[in-house]
Amino acid sequence: MPREITAFSNPLIKRVRELRDKRHRREQRQFLAEGLRILTEARETGRLPQTLFYAAASAGHPLVNALSIDVEAAGGESIQTTPDILSKLSGKDNPQAVVGVFDEFASSLDALERGKADIWLVAERLRDPGNLGTILRTGDAVGAGGLILIGESVDPFSVEAVRASMGALFTVPVVQAEWSEFVPWLRSGPGQLVGLSLDTESDYRAARYASPTFLLTGNEAQGMPPNYAAECDLLVKIPMLGKADSLNAAVATAVMAYEVLAQRRG
């Protein structure tokens, strides 16, 4: 049976609030996800929170009830609480109906099966959690095999990144690696590395993409380092007809991913 917590001073509430901080997430190897849609999508992929918090007013919702039953059946804990406490956990004035505490699920390059997808996304020193979330959603939409984060990138398990992913964090594998690890792994099997660059005359729609295609997007502010560009099998650019000299990193990734998808479907 779910237990009830209504006191802000409860030790569990304090510990869960700390998961909003990167250092505590790394120490506890857990992260927060909020919202009935996101938690339901996680449930559908076989991932359940270790702890589920929900407001009393949501207790009768069939999806909340299903989540609560499955969490407890899997050995987790379901907790009924107040909207104020949910607000403290999520950091939002208007909290979602549910908040879940999940164990981190890290993957590695060696665990990836490159042959399972035609498209893979690679982002170098991605800094913005909104961009990361949008790229994950793009990956889910085009059936990408996963997202490989190169270098010191934004934490994919931050509250902001999880929220921006709208559940795609649970459907698109995420791997964090250094460039020195990624290149040998990539070259150990099939895979075309395609870099988005302004320093090329190759139009992204004129190019032909081999499967599997690894789309490399550079850092939002500094772009792609020259040695990374030199490693690419192909550099392409998206034409800019206005005054802006480049697209947002997540937007550019989406444009490229759909071009690759269009060629595969064609």
- Write the pLDDT tens digit of every residue in 40-60: 999 999 999 999 999 888 888
- Within this chain, do residues 126 and 254 fall inside the same structural domain, yes or no? yes
- Within this chain, do residues 31 and 155 fall inside the same structural domain, yes or no? no
Mean pLDDT of the 72-101 span: 88
* Residue finishing a domain among 46, 72, 103: 103
- Within this chain, do residues 42 and 166 fall inside the same structural domain, yes or no? no
What's 208's domain CATH number?
Answer: 3.40.1280.10
**Contact (Cβ atoms closer than 8 angstroms) between residue 74 and residue 47:** no
- Within this chain, do residues 95 and 129 fall inside the same structural domain, yes or no? no
* Residue finishing a domain among 103, 135, 155: 103
> Residue 256: enclosing H or E segment and its boundaries?
helix 249-265
- Within this chain, do residues 96 and 61 fall inside the same structural domain, yes or no? yes
pLDDT confidence of residue 62: 93
More confident residue, 93 or 214: 214
* Residue finishing a domain among 77, 103, 129: 103
pTM of the model: 0.91
Domain assignment of residue 85, given as a range: 3-103
pLDDT confidence of residue 223: 84
Q: pLDDT per residue over 156-208, tens digit each?
A: 999 999 999 999 999 999 999 999 999 999 999 999 999 998 888 899 999 99
What's 18's domain CATH number?
Answer: 3.30.1330.30
Q: What percentage of residues in the chain have a pLDDT greater than 90?
A: 79
Structural domain tally of the chain? 2
Of the candidates 125, 126, 122, the one whose C-alpha atom is nearest the C-alpha of residue 109 is 122
- Within this chain, do residues 135 and 246 fall inside the same structural domain, yes or no? yes
* Alpha-carbon distances of 244 from 238, 247, 258, rounded to whole Å: 12, 8, 22
Read out DSSP for 153-219?
A: ---TTSHHHHHHHTTGGGTS-EEEE-HHHHHHHHHTS--EEEEE-SS---BTTTS--PSSEEEEE-B
- Within this chain, do residues 8 and 99 fall inside the same structural domain, yes or no? yes
pLDDT confidence of residue 1: 61
Distance CA 224, CA 117 (A): 24
